[in-house]
Amino acid sequence: MKKSNILIVSSITTLQLSILPLAFDTVQAAVCPGDSFNFNGQIIYSAGNYNHISTAANGCDSTTTLLLSILPLTYDTVAVAICDGDSFEFNGQTLGITGSYTYITAGSNGCDSTTTLQLSVMPHASTEVSASICPGDTFLFNGQFLTESGTYYHVEAASNGCDSIVTLTLDELPTSSGSSEQHMCQGEKITFGSQSITEAGSYTEVFSAANGCDSTHHLTVTTSTIESKVGIFGDTLKSIFPAHVYEWVKCPSYSLTGIYTPYFIPGDYQFYALVAYDSNGCSDTSWCFKVSPNSIEEDTEDAFIPYPNPASDWVQIDNRSGEQAAEWYDALGRLVLINASVNGLLVTPKTTGVYLLRLQSGGQTERHKVVVNGR
């Protein structure tokens, strides 16, 4: 077999292969809360990392990474206090009422910055004071000497910096005055305030009234003019001057006799005096006197004749002069019975004794001795 030499020529192709780079890009962005970010058609509201792959110029992938952050909102609170009646300017508003007020502006990061105002309105302090003075006195109020009633005010700074208003109501108390009369017996003394009075006259004293102010009192003092003087008229002692009450006493003990008439028929040789009283109770005592004991002695006139005499229950009066007023006196001159004749008859005293019957009619007076035998 014949062998042939065959030349085989080979064609070799060399591939130069290159790995193209991928494209990567990082984007940082920030939005305010509530805002959105459009990332390649995607609306994003939350912070995070977001990727978007597209074809680069070399035909490979181009990855863009978004780093999205949410910016913070800023908040600020301001506390302010003002006095009642004042105002506070806040973002163009004039505020004067307690409350919370909000103002929103753009912060330094472009997001909302909220400022809240806490406004307090503080009250003014108020104090009311009442005082009173007497006429002519003064009251010191914040350096002022006040002399008249009225309403006065003083304003000063309180501890909270606001006004403290003190209101003073000042009253002027009234003074009082009065007058009285007082009767003074002879020899007496009246104490009137700081004065010791022994004579009649008008006196004035200033006292302190219940309200503390002056009370002026005028006192008119009168003195007693009672005087006891006795005259002797036969067997009878009589008062010379009139008195409100007559009181005959026995000397020297000045014991009471029970006789209270302007005249007294003692009927013995003892001494007697008259104590005379005026209407105010003042008294004066006379000297002591005595008379003869023929006290039961009748008149000689006989216009009125009592009979029978001696008598018992009654006596008949001669009725020639009409009705008679009758007074019966015992042997000591004491008035024991007063009556009047009725149809000429008079009832006698009940006790046995000798009596002086004093009869009076038509301006005529007679005295008759009557013996009465008791009933």
CB 321 within 8 A of CB 357: no
Q: What are phi and psi of 319, to 5 degrees?
A: -95, 30
Q: What is the mean pLDDT of the chain?
A: 86
Confidence of residue 259 (pLDDT cuts 50, 70, 90): very high
Q: Among residues 222, 241, 257, which one ends one of the domains?
A: 222
**Same-domain pairing of 239 and 206:** no
Q: What is the pLDDT of residues 104-127, one digit of tens each?
A: 998 888 898 999 999 999 888 888
Give the per-residue pLDDT at 274: 95
pLDDT of 256 over the 60 cut: yes
**Same-domain pairing of 148 and 166:** yes
Assign residue 319 the CATH number of its domain: 2.60.40
The reported pTM is 0.43
Asked if residue 82 belongs to a domain, the reply is: yes
Asked if residue 1 belongs to a domain, the reply is: no
Asked if residue 110 belongs to a domain, the reply is: yes
Domains contained in the chain, number: 6
Asked if residue 116 belongs to a domain, the reply is: yes
Residue type present at position 140: L
Q: Tell me the C-alpha distance between 333 and 355, whole Å.
A: 9
Residue span of the structural domain in which 61 resides: 23-70
C-alpha 37: how far from chain center: 83
As a whole number, mean pLDDT of residues 162-166 equals: 88
Asked if residue 340 belongs to a domain, the reply is: yes
| DSSP code at position 321 | G
**Same-domain pairing of 29 and 59:** yes
**Same-domain pairing of 329 and 360:** yes
Give the per-residue pLDDT at 355: 87
**Same-domain pairing of 247 and 277:** yes
pLDDT of 57 over the 80 cut: yes
As a whole number, mean pLDDT of residues 203-213 equals: 91
Give the per-residue pLDDT at 322: 61
**Same-domain pairing of 83 and 97:** yes
Asked if residue 8 belongs to a domain, the reply is: no
pLDDT of 295 over the 50 cut: no
pLDDT of 320 over the 60 cut: no
pLDDT of 374 over the 90 cut: no
As a whole number, mean pLDDT of residues 48-67 equals: 89
Confidence of residue 10 (pLDDT cuts 50, 70, 90): low
Asked if residue 14 belongs to a domain, the reply is: no
Q: Which residue has the higher pLDDT, 323 or 154?
A: 154
pLDDT of 1 over the 80 cut: no
**Same-domain pairing of 267 and 320:** no
Q: What is the pLDDT of residues 215-251, one digit of tens each?
A: 999 999 999 889 999 888 777 889 999 999 999 999 9
pLDDT of 44 over the 80 cut: yes
pLDDT of 99 over the 60 cut: yes
Asked if residue 13 belongs to a domain, the reply is: no
**Same-domain pairing of 311 and 366:** yes
**Same-domain pairing of 310 and 361:** yes
Q: Tell me the C-alpha distance between 357 and 314, whole Å.
A: 12
Residue type present at position 85: G
Parallel, antiparallel, or unpaired for β 306-307 and 314-317? Answer: antiparallel
Confidence of residue 294 (pLDDT cuts 50, 70, 90): very low
Give the per-residue pLDDT at 3: 56
**Residue 7, number of CB atoms within 10 A of its CB:** 4
Q: What is the pLDDT of residues 171-201, one digit of tens each?
A: 999 988 999 999 999 888 999 999 999 999 9
Q: What angle do CA 264, 267, 271 make, to 5 degrees?
A: 70
